[in-house]
Amino acid sequence: QVQLVESGGGLVQAGGSLRLSCAASRRTFSSYAMGWFRQAPGKEREFVAAVSWSGDNTFHADSVKGRFTISRVGTKNTVYLQMNSLKPEDTAVYYCAAANKYDSRRYYVPTGSGEYDYWGQGTQVNY
């Protein structure tokens, strides 16, 4: 079992920035692909960004490309989502997720919510 704890959410102003963090409870974090999803009120959960277990490959949704950046630090068992130039439509609860099925695929970046095995409790971002 892996526990994921997000932090860093809050209230931002026009064009502001936030950095979300997701800390994983297990050392095997290094073999997990990691992703960020978000859910706005009245909408379905949507993919935001993900990084392969190796850290060699990332993928960002078109809606955040060029503004958000996902990264991971293995020594800290932590994945980050740097969010710049925030917009009103970025308001949502942001969830961190971990996928443990792709350790044999160095560059694979899962983008579907069904591909992930563990989820955090979420952190609120308000514009």
On average, the pLDDT of the chain sits at 93
Least confident among 11-15, 28-32, 57-61, 77-81: 28-32
pLDDT by residue (tens digit) across 19-32? Answer: 999 999 876 778 89
Secondary structure class of 101 (helix, strand, coil): coil
Cβ proximity of 1 and 100 under 8 Å: no
Say if residue 8's pLDDT is above 90.
yes
Q: What does the buried/exposed string (b/e) look like for 36-58 if buried means 16 or more CB atoms within 10 Å of the residue's CB?
A: bbbeeeeeebebbbbbbbbbeee
